[in-house]
Chain A
Amino acid sequence: MPQGVLVFAEQREGIVKKASLEATSEGCRIANQLGEELSVLLIGSSIKHLPPKLFPYGAHKVYLADHSMLEQYSSEGYSEISYKLITERDPAIVLFPATAMGRDIAPRLAARLKVGLASDCTVLRLNEEKRLECQRPVYSGKAFALVQLTSTPQMATLRPNVFSAEELKEPPQGEVIELSVELKPENIRAKVVDLIKPEQEVPDLTEAIVIVSGGRGMKSGESFELLEALASTLQGAVGASRAAVDAGWVDHQIQVGQTGKVVSPQLYIACGISGAIQHLAGMSSSKFIIAINKDPEAPIFKAADFGIVGDLFKVLPCLTEALQKLSKA
């Protein structure tokens, strides 16, 4: 009988991603409710030092696939390893972080296993039959769907920044199990040949705690410097509305909204953004929303917890300066 919870933990360059710790923690809560064990799968190269990082979050076992051919992520190589482990160990539940990697590998595995997959979940719970029910935003958050997983293993990807990663006071005595990796070069056809890093490290929007976003009201790409200044004071990231991206002021990678990123930071500061339904869809699950706009009728004020009606070119420098003073004090 299928048993236990398995979490696919993403690491890149020897660092376990925060979203993976969140998934591990949620896996631990579910495993505890089932009275079953939590295992974690780590795949990469030269990562033998990583398992102890997962024990504090409740992992009883860490399966380690450490091989030079696994240095870079590949959907084929990583799914081969994961598929083998899942069929051998027969877990009842398999969880992934809904990162670029998790979103890439989970559907391939679901297809191979011929099971259902709930994507980008924001709440997991067990029903009376101890089966998983997953809440997930649809229409970019304009509605929430409760999804039941009727096949086994029950698979779900977990949206980053939503579940809390908690270190246990009394973590289990973890065990590391090294997997034998039998991969042939022909198993990996699509290969990573290069990584392009931006000149300046930018925090990823989906993982950011604070996001300062600009819209049409910014009037130019240059004025995004005002947002950069505020964001750096709050150790946050800069986002943009579709209007600002389509005007060519900023890169599409930072677009928030239905055809951009769906984000859920602790604090979202919308500057010069009117609040089109498209945009609201992408940020309405933020914990706190602040709006700065000169138009008191802008729909964004209906979504905001705190709004300032005013000229952002005056308000923003004033706010940044006040916050800098505060952090020095």
Chain B
Amino acid sequence: MKVIVCIKQVPDTEAKIKIAPHGRAIDDAEINYIINPYEEYAIEEGLRTKESLGEGEVILISVGPERASTALRSGLAMGADRAIHINDPLIDENDPLLVATLLSKAIQQEGYHLILCGVQGVGTDHYQVGPILAELLGIPHVGVVTKLQISPDKAVAHREIEGVSEVIETPLPALFTTQKGLNEPRYPSLKGIMMAKKKPLTVLDCQQLGVSEEEVNKLKGKAPIIKLELPPMRPKGTVVEGEPSETVKQLIEWLQRETGIL
């Protein structure tokens, strides 16, 4: 079974966000980049699938600048077999339609049975690349998956929706977007980290994927950010200390006076 795991490198969730001087993106000078946490579940699930079937190959693909190779090496250290890095100055790694199109080209070249992506890329929070990729490849997808059973020709997935779980059965090939709760991602072992350095990592640009500059320009920028701002500061609140009966009384008075909730 050929398992494709799409990963994105994203700013650390602990990162403090600053806005770049041009006001349309973040200032990433001091940002530490990590594998999108939702895609750690995707890598783990890919590895478990290969292990439980006793055969297969786990291939990581990422679209991003030079630094994204670090995320791919971390995924290889977890145990993936090889990696593809799509890197081209023409690319905006935060443009869902463009990224999904490039992924689809690489995946079609490669062949596939199972595709895993995180439910969302932390930071841009679009929730788009997975379903777009499935649509472009013409395969079914199940989003927000918290349980997955793969057999050679079909899959059963639990999908988290408001208040309930849907159990969905689908033939393969299919795409799944992974959510927290699916599994507990492993840490790379020292041996894994050493081996990862020797595993194949192929770098491809748009031309090698058969996508011309003109096509890239036509695909990107359909929902551009025209302004990025920090949220407005909240006014300083009231803080009280003392006997619970007294502080609770003050809280209830405040709730009645200020919020209209009671």
- Chain A contacts to B: CB under 8 angstroms: 17, 72-73, 75-76, 79, 99-101, 103-108, 110-112, 114-120, 133, 136-151, 189-198, 201-204, 206-207, 210, 234, 251-253, 255, 258-260, 262, 266-267, 276-278, 281, 284-285, 287-290, 296, 301, 303-311, 314-315, 318-319, 322-323, 326
Contact = CB atoms under 8 A, between A and B. Distances in A.
Contact of B239 (A202, A285, A304): A304
Question: Is the contact region of chain A dominated by helix, strand, or loop, or is it mixed?
Answer: mixed
Contacts of B226: 133, 146-148
B166 A192 contact: yes
Contacts of A197: 163-164
Contacts, number: 262
Contacts of A106: 128
B163 A193 contact: no
B163 to A, nearest CB: 5
B55 to A, nearest CB: 24
B237 A148 contact: no
A196 B262 contact: no
A308 B240 contact: yes
Interface in B110-141: 122-132, 134-136, 140-141
25 contacts: A79-B135, A106-B128, A107-B132, A117-B128, A119-B125, A139-B125, A140-B13, A142-B16, A145-B228, A146-B227, A147-B225, A147-B226, A150-B223, A189-B171, A193-B167, A194-B167, A196-B167, A198-B163, A258-B122, A262-B125, A267-B255, A278-B13, A285-B231, A308-B251, A315-B247
A138 B238 contact: no
Contacts of A105: 131
B76 interface: no
Question: Is the contact region of chain B dominated by helix, strand, or loop, or is it mixed?
Answer: mixed
Contacts of A276: 14
A3 B140 CA distance: 31
A296 B240 CA distance: 10
Nearest to B126: A119
A139 B26 contact: yes
Interface stretch (B62-70, B154-162, B186-194): B154-162
Given A107-B127, A259-B37, A191 B168 contact: yes
B53 interface: no
Contacts of B248: 308, 315, 318-319, 322
